[in-house]
Amino acid sequence: MDFFDKIGKKASEAYKVTADKTGKLAKDTKIKIKIGDLRSKINDIYEEIGKKVYEKHVSDEEVAGIDEEINEKCAKIDEISEEIENLLKESRRLRDKKQCPECYSELDRDVNYCPNCGKKQEIPEPVVVDENIEEKEEEKEEEAKEPEIIESDDVNNEQDVAETDDTEEVSE
């Protein structure tokens, strides 16, 4: 029986690891799609800025008169760029990567020196994991496996109550 329990636990662990990696991959893919959409928006805004400037140039109007419009569009680009940066950070976190502060290369989280520029990297703080989590999960699984025992008297009483409710409905 121990043999089958060990196989079951190994299979369960493999499933959890696979599910976790698949979930991370799906999240990372969604993030990358969102980043692509945001970059497309930025390009559209660049195009709008260029059109405004060129229209003013062609009409021989002063280009400085559109500063307010351009500043609004530039502020929008800044907002979108910040959102992209946050999404990139989340993507790196999901893939256990980090970014070199010197050359901005993407690195494995546990690398001490950047292979691109040689800059010494900060050591990331280890993630604190509660060791009792696995034990708690196992207890929950065992509780879920235990069938609920219903005594025969309880079943009969429930049926009597149901019949009584039906009778009362008919008499009303």
Euclidean distance between CA atoms 34 and 1, whole angstroms: 49
Nearest to 37 by CA among 73, 87, 112: 87
Q: Is the dihedral of CA 95, 101, 104, 108 positive or negative?
A: negative
Q: Domain locations in the chain?
A: 1-95
Tell whether pTM > 0.75. Answer: no
Helix axes 2-58, 67-94, angle to 10 degrees: 170
- Average pLDDT of the chain? 76
Q: Where are the beta strands (DSSP E) in 1-82?
A: none
Q: Which two tokens stand for residue 140?
A: 């929950």
Give the pLDDT confidence of 112-166 residue by residue, as tens digits.
899 989 988 887 555 444 445 445 555 555 555 555 555 544 444 444 444 444 4
Give the pLDDT confidence of 47-90 residue by residue, as tens digits.
999 988 888 878 776 655 667 888 899 999 999 999 999 999 99
Q: Supply φ then ψ for residue 52, to 5 degrees.
A: -60, -45
